Amino acid sequence: MLSRDTIVSIALLLFCGFLIQAGFQIRDPQFGELSPAAWPQAVSYVLTAFCMIYFIQSVLANKADIAAAKADEAAVRHTGVVDWLRYYANPIACFALYFLFLATLPFFGTLIGGTLLVFALLSLLGGIAPRQIVLHAAIAVISVGAMWSLFTFGLRVLLPRGEIMPGI
């Protein structure tokens, strides 16, 4: 019998195949620079690699782990809305932070808003000890700064600028 993870990984691999096929349908205007299909195809191949790892792990998982996971899931039955909210508190909070990021994007812009989002997500999920906060701030600044630099200078994509720092 196939586990849920195996079924989901197979569905994701089929979707990745669709994405790769669609990437070959992107018209190349022959401007002499990077093809418009390069970025979507690169993302599709990376996503396919991750889905393949997921598939291999799901197949190699032993039956005892699957039985233990089912027992844990059965033990955590949700009897009401409050239990459901308590069980899914982290994903709900992450989505709320992301929608707050989207709502404040015109004011903060990509660079500041993205840094605040990554910092808030890391602090929410990783704890707020003083040493961790410094680490979360460093990771947020470095990762968002690198992505912003890649898109702005490497790919020449105009990212949303905020009212705080309209020049950046």
What pLDDT digit, counting tens, does each position of 131-153 carry? 899 999 999 999 999 999 988 88
The one-character DSSP state at 32 is S
* For range 18-27, the mean pLDDT: 90
Q: Model confidence over 27-80: pLDDT tens digits?
A: 877 776 777 788 889 999 999 999 999 999 988 886 667 667 666 666 666 678
Q: In this model, does residue 91 exceed pLDDT 90? A: yes
- Tokens representing 109 are 């812009």
pTM of the model: 0.65
Most confident of the ranges 25-29, 117-121, 123-127: 117-121
Q: In this model, does residue 167 exceed pLDDT 70? A: no
Residue 138, sorted as left (phi over 0), alpha (psi -120 to 50) or beta, turns out to be: alpha
In the block, tokens 């990554």 appear at 118
Residue % of the chain over a pLDDT of 90:
51
Phi, psi of 62 (to 5 degrees): -80, 160
Mean pLDDT of the chain, nearest integer: 87
pLDDT at site 75: 63
